[in-house]
Amino acid sequence: MLSLTARSFVLCCALAVSFTVLGAHEYRADQLRIGHPFARATPPGARTGAVFFTVDNAAKEADRLLRASTPIAAGVVLHQMALEDGVMKMRAVPSVEVRSGGRLELKPNGYHLMLLDLRQPLKAGEKFPLTLTFEDAGTITISVLVEEMGAMGGAARK
């Protein structure tokens, strides 16, 4: 039988591991790991917002992010920003591949999810649900943390 001190130590270690997992702000869908979902706060009256996160694929086959939805917006569109002839352009894309063994990064100035017709402004510190649908891994609902305007995802990584 363990002494009280040993039991306390084991309990503390278990809690530390639990808090690390909870604090990681990560989700799993089959062989996909969705990491650090965040959105930027929006000014009052803004009708659009953006969501960013990473997707790591540990599967032997590629997968595709097909669509997303959230109750805080009328629609969600997958967008890509790219530099074309010295001009940054944004365009909707039907889906995006997550290569086998690879990482998809939805980040500012790259792929991102555009929230259309927001029902309310996005306020720093709040969270909202976002449902992602993948071709093979299926559907998963994640929680998106709203960070300050101009954020690059630092608060979500802490």
Rounded to 5°, angle at Cα 134 from 128 and 135? 160
pLDDT beyond 80 at 121 = yes
Quote the percentage of the chain above a pLDDT of 90.
68
Tell me the pLDDT band of 152, cut-offs 50, 70 and 90: low
| Residue keyed to tokens 């809690």 | 15
Radius of gyration of the chain (CA): 18
Q: Hey, how many other C-beta atoms are within 10 angstroms of the C-beta on 8? A: 11
Domains, the chain, ordered by start: 26-157 (2.60.40.1890)
Distance from C-alpha of 118 to C-alpha of 142, rounded to nearest angstrom: 18
- First and final C-alpha spacing in the chain: 37
Q: What residue type is assigned to position 2 of the chain?
A: L
Q: Would you state the pLDDT for residue 43?
A: 93
Check: pTM over 0.85? Answer yes or no. no
**Contact at 8 Å (CB) between 151 and 45?**
no
Write the pLDDT tens digit of every residue in 72-112.
999 999 999 888 888 888 999 999 999 999 999 999 889 99
